[in-house]
Structure 1
Amino acid sequence: MNNQEPGTLKDEELVRLYVSSQKNLYFEELYERYSEKVYRKCLSFVKDQAKAEDFTHDIFLKVITKIGTFKESARFSTWLYSITYNYCMDMLRKQKRLQEDSLEEPMEFVEENVDHELLSMKKEGLQKSLEEISPDEKAMLLMKYQDEFSIKEIAQTFQISESATKMRLLRTKEKMKKLYLEHVILISLFVLKILLLFRK
């Protein structure tokens, strides 16, 4: 087995060989397979390339330190993505706390490019709704509907039962619908107000 090329081995075999031999070539193969996917997932959370790169680096450092705890009852990819999601959620929570601490700073209304903003507001309604739910809720929705994780895999990631996972998904979807409708109504009222101002 040790004489096989790393590229021909399954993820779980690479983990076993790395843990037993500590040879970097096995971990490097895992990194090659998943670093871009982890980076893209981080980018979907932070929308900043530099931060996403930093997150990816930190996540793989975590993977190295925790790889001995990997249990083959789950796929390696699921285990890796659970670390990725949990890390991103932790960082988003910290960022949210920092933002709440700086809420006293006044916000300025920028009138430039108002027409462009009005045109793009509706398609941004869904994104704005995603930004208003908790990091846990956002992660669960992305896992289910973007990354197509199974209910079982999501339950394992969040360490809750499958029935609790289904209930959380249902509640989060209902919350998203409510937030989206609120955004659409607010946007419509704003557009109407702008149009009335232009007519005066």
Structure 2
Amino acid sequence: MNQADILERLKMGDNAVFADIVNLWQDMVYNTALGIVQNEEDAEDITQEVFVQVYESIGDFREEAKLSTWLYRITISKSLDMEKKKQRQKRGGLLKRIFEPTEAEVPVSFDHPGVKLDNKENAAALFNAIRKLPEKQRLAFVLQKLESLSNEEIGAVLQMSVVAVDSLLARARTNLKSILKGYYEKNLK
């Protein structure tokens, strides 16, 4: 069944096709969200929200892009919304900030499906460094390294040219090297 047939059946309310889409794409949505928000519970919530939005707005899908591209866009949007919500919550009262550690002080402690147990400490340092990247660099890096998308696919998802994606990824690598330099100097001694 091609994308047009799938979309037509979805628009007609075929729940079996929707269940197939969820089964096919839920790992991709979860992994992408996890790579961005770096919190398992938030990634699970985002995954649910993405598929609720897909179900509710399938009639609005213009079919100018692939279904997977649309899912990535929704996932990124929901993930960034979650981060903004968390930032607003972090700006809470003075007592809360005094007595509870801020998110920046809490090390990343989630299990990303692509990280092997023996690389967990290095992965935590890398994910902390990724979190410090500017938003567009972080998104491009996550889509390339965690989702294995090509630069053309990243360009489609982020709605930018391949040249712009190449530039973002080069800057992300440079920034990550700079951020991680201290970590590796300390741990290689």
Pick the TM interval, shorter chain.
0.7 to 0.9
Separation (CA, whole Å) in 2 of partners of 1:165 and 1:122: 26
The verdict on how the C-alpha distance between 1:12 and 1:33 changes in structure 2, with shifts beyond 3 A counting, is: farther
Question: What is the aligned partner in structure 2 of residue 171 from structure 1?
Answer: 171
Residue identity (%): 23
Q: Does 1:105 align with 2:98?
A: yes
Match of 2:32 among 19, 34, 41: 41
Flag the structure with larger Rg: 1
Larger RCO, structure (CA 8 Å, separation 6 or more): 2
* Helix, strand or coil at the partner of 1:22: coil
Separation (CA, whole Å) in 2 of partners of 1:182 and 1:93: 28
Question: What is the aligned partner in structure 2 of residue 72 from structure 1?
Answer: 63
Deviation at 1:97, TM superposition (A): 4.3
* Helix, strand or coil at the partner of 2:148: coil
Match of 2:7 among 11, 15, 29: 15
1:126-160 deviations in Å (ceiling 9; x for gaps): 22211212343222101112212222222222222
TM-score by length of 2: 0.72
TM-score by length of 1: 0.69
Separation (CA, whole Å) in 2 of partners of 1:43 and 1:22: 29
1:129-144 alignment, distance < 5 Å: 129-144=129-144
Whichever residue aligns with residue 163 of structure 1, its letter is V
RMSD: 3.0
Separation (CA, whole Å) in 2 of partners of 1:133 and 1:52: 19
The verdict on how the C-alpha distance between 1:135 and 1:94 changes in structure 2, with shifts beyond 3 A counting, is: farther
Number of equivalences? 170
Deviation at 1:47, TM superposition (A): 4.2
Deviation at 1:102, TM superposition (A): 6.6
1:20-60 deviations in Å (ceiling 9; x for gaps): x2232222221121123322333333444332222111111
**Please, which runs of 5 or more residues in structure 1 have no aligned partner?**
1-8, 110-119, 193-200
* Helix, strand or coil at the partner of 1:34: helix
